[in-house]
Amino acid sequence: MTTQTVETATWGDLFRGRNGLLALALVGGVALHAINVHIVTTVLPSVVQDIGGLQWYAWSTTLFVVASIIGASLSVWLLALAGQRGACVSALLVFSLGSLGCALAPSMPWMLAARTVQGLGGGVLAALCYALIRLVFEPALWPRAVALVSGMWGVATLCGPALGGLFAQAGHWRWAFWALLPVALFQALLVTSQLRPANRQDDKPSVRIPFAQITLLALSVLAVAAGSLSAHLVWQTLGIVSGVVLGMAAIIQDRRATVRMLPLGATTLTSPLGAVYASLALLLIGTTTEIFVPYFLQMLHGMTPLTAGYMTAAMAGGWSLSSMLSSGQFGVAASRLLRAGPALSALSLVALAILMPALDSLPAELRTLLCAIALAGVGAGVGICWPHLVTRVMTLAPMGEGDRASAAITTVQLYGMALGAAGAGLVTNIAGLNENDGIPGTQSAAIWLFASFAVAPLLVAILARRFTRPAPQHSTTGDAVSERS
């Protein structure tokens, strides 16, 4: 194995000349997808008040995530079939059709179908961004480009709720979806001018679709989501167990299949590449605690919804800022960050387990400040690692599997978020989060949620040893260089 030894380029190198336009072409699609996620979360209460379907409220997100996982898995096939330009334009078209359907939705079933289409296009966009980073940029620019992508999710967390809130407050939730269309059109024009068209040679390599693995993975997420929607612990547990079993079945199938979804070595923890993928998922699982942070802050600290929402955004802010600042490190320094980042996230989650349920033990202002610092610490621990983890996926990918390895980043990321969200619901339910137990139940849920989820980043700190040991350098970028030429 090898660690990253190429000196990282500067931000000026990334934004200079055509590189800047290429960077905008890539991250614009991710920004569109990410901002849409947070806008919809904000306007969804207004949607159900207008067109009904409260019983299907959570499935708007569930079907979007499932479709995004499918889209991410199909991105390699689409890239091989349509080329850089055609793949991005096709994904933007599908995303726009889904947004149009949401804007015109007369009922919740229509909305759910449109959200599924929207998620399919968004998943392809997010996965293509990672795949194209290694195709259009030199390896020295990869950490900076990945950090820029991470920054887009942070910007979306800060801007999305505000934009969605404006539309919802004005009583025009449909405008939130209409507003996405001109942005998608601008993005399509940008990628058309900057990315290469498809290779028209007859000997172009064919890529087949791993239908069995994609189906099992989608069923896994649906099982977890279905279980988490139940108010009964037995069904919640059954849903998560079924989801994990189906997820393991997808991994076993991928190991045996001739048409694979993940690159060689990605499904075993003894492989450096497998350890990196597991680390990506575990770090995302740790951050899913943010789902309950607004509720805890409102119930235990008496904050308004708006204040609690922006306190929660401290986690995304910490992720984005630390990702930008750490992306310039390489070699030994990057390896140290890969070990320090998970430790910071774990310590911050433990701090939240102590601070969040505290009521009168500290002055309110100090308690709020410390909670904000701890939330930022959880995100910062992930952001410190993220550019270097993603870069290692690109450099550790077996020859000829760079596209598959890069696209799988989004698949693993979304799957980790889905499992984490379901697990968070299960833990809080067991710990006593319900209407009958009131404040004591909420305090218990906060303690158990943050304390138990601190285990996830701690496991990353252990796994990091598998891909941070120095080793004799060998060529890991020949595949990417040949594809760019």
Among 174, 197, 220, the domain boundary falls at: 197
Same domain as 381, residue 322: yes
pLDDT at 106 over 90: yes
The gap from C-alpha 363 to its chain's centroid, in whole angstroms, comes to: 35
Same domain as 220, residue 104: no
Q: How confident is the model at residue 306 (pLDDT cuts 50, 70, 90)?
A: low
From 107-121, 179-193, 199-213, 386-400, the region with the lowest mean pLDDT: 199-213
Same domain as 383, residue 245: no
Same domain as 180, residue 60: yes
Query: What average pLDDT does the segment 361-383 reach?
Result: 90
Domain count, the chain: 3
The model's pTM is 0.78
pLDDT of residue 14: 85
Residue 163 lies in a domain: yes
Residue 321 lies in a domain: yes
Residue 204 lies in a domain: no
Q: How confident is the model at residue 435 (pLDDT cuts 50, 70, 90)?
A: low
Same domain as 85, residue 23: yes
The upper half-sphere exposure of residue 152, i.e. CA atoms within 13 Å in the direction of its Cβ, equals 22
Compute the distance between CA of residue 167 and CA of residue 111 in angstroms, rounded to an integer: 17
Q: How confident is the model at residue 377 (pLDDT cuts 50, 70, 90)?
A: very high
Same domain as 19, residue 122: yes
Same domain as 239, residue 92: no
- Pick the more confident residue, 349 or 165: 349
Q: How confident is the model at residue 226 (pLDDT cuts 50, 70, 90)?
A: confident
Same domain as 289, residue 241: no
- 257-266 residue pLDDT tens: 888 888 888 8
Query: What average pLDDT does the segment 70-83 reach?
Result: 86
Compute the distance between CA of residue 310 and CA of residue 158 in angstroms, rounded to an integer: 8
pLDDT of residue 72: 87
Classify residue 8 by burial, with Cβ atoms within 10 Å: 0-12, 13-18, 19+.
buried
| Contacts of residue 417, Cβ cutoff 8 Å, sequence gap at least 6 | 65, 284, 285, 288
Same domain as 238, residue 171: no
One-character DSSP codes across 59-75: HHHHHHHHHHHHHHHHH
Domain that holds residue 61: 9-197
pLDDT of residue 472: 38
* CB atoms inside a 10 Å sphere around CB 186: 12
Residue 354 lies in a domain: yes
Closest CA to 33 of 178, 158, 153: 153
Residue 2 lies in a domain: no
Compute the distance between CA of residue 396 and CA of residue 414 in angstroms, rounded to an integer: 21
- Pick the more confident residue, 310 or 324: 324
Residue 193 lies in a domain: yes
Residue 205 lies in a domain: no
Handedness of CA 439, 440, 445, 447 (dihedral sign): positive
pLDDT at 245 over 50: yes
271 backbone φψ class: left, alpha, beta (φ>0; ψ -120 to 50): beta
What percentage of the chain carries pLDDT values higher than 70? 89
Same domain as 227, residue 133: no
Q: How confident is the model at residue 2 (pLDDT cuts 50, 70, 90)?
A: very low
Q: How confident is the model at residue 305 (pLDDT cuts 50, 70, 90)?
A: low
- Segments in 257-330 forming alpha helices (H): 272-287, 293-301, 305-326
Chain-wide mean pLDDT for the chain?
A: 83
Query: What average pLDDT does the segment 77-81 reach?
Result: 86
| Contacts of residue 66, Cβ cutoff 8 Å, sequence gap at least 6 | 116, 119, 218, 221, 222, 225
Same domain as 315, residue 275: yes
Query: Phi, psi (5° rounding) for residue 152?
Result: -65, -35
Compute the distance between CA of residue 91 and CA of residue 77 in angstroms, rounded to an integer: 12
From 201-210, 356-365, 439-448, the region with the lowest mean pLDDT: 201-210
Closest CA to 403 of 214, 222, 272, 263: 263
Residue 313 lies in a domain: yes
pLDDT of residue 3: 46
One-character DSSP codes across 358-409: -SSSS-HHHHHHHHHHHHHHHHHHHHHHHHHHHHHHHHHSPTT-HHHHHHHH
- 447-464 residue pLDDT tens: 999 999 999 999 999 998
pLDDT of residue 28: 84
CB 81, CB 91: distance < 8 Å: no
CA distances from 26 to 53, 171, 177, 188, 353 (A): 36, 33, 21, 11, 38
Q: Report the chain's terminal Cα–Cα distance, integer Å.
A: 25
pLDDT at 204 over 60: no
CB 285, CB 416: distance < 8 Å: yes
Can you give the CATH number for the domain in which 290 is found? Answer: 1.20.1250.20
Among 144, 168, 197, the domain boundary falls at: 197
Q: Angle 364-396/293-301 helices, nearest 10 degrees?
A: 170
Same domain as 464, residue 403: yes
pLDDT at 53 over 60: yes
Which of 72-76, 136-140, 383-387, 432-436 is most confident? 383-387
Query: What average pLDDT does the segment 1-20 reach?
Result: 71
- Pick the more confident residue, 98 or 332: 98
| Contacts of residue 352, Cβ cutoff 8 Å, sequence gap at least 6 | 289, 371, 374, 375, 378, 446, 450
Compute the distance between CA of residue 232 and CA of residue 226 in angstroms, rounded to an integer: 12
pLDDT at 380 over 90: yes
- Pick the more confident residue, 164 or 207: 164
Compute the distance between CA of residue 255 and CA of residue 177 in angstroms, rounded to an integer: 40
pLDDT at 108 over 60: yes
- Pick the more confident residue, 97 or 205: 97
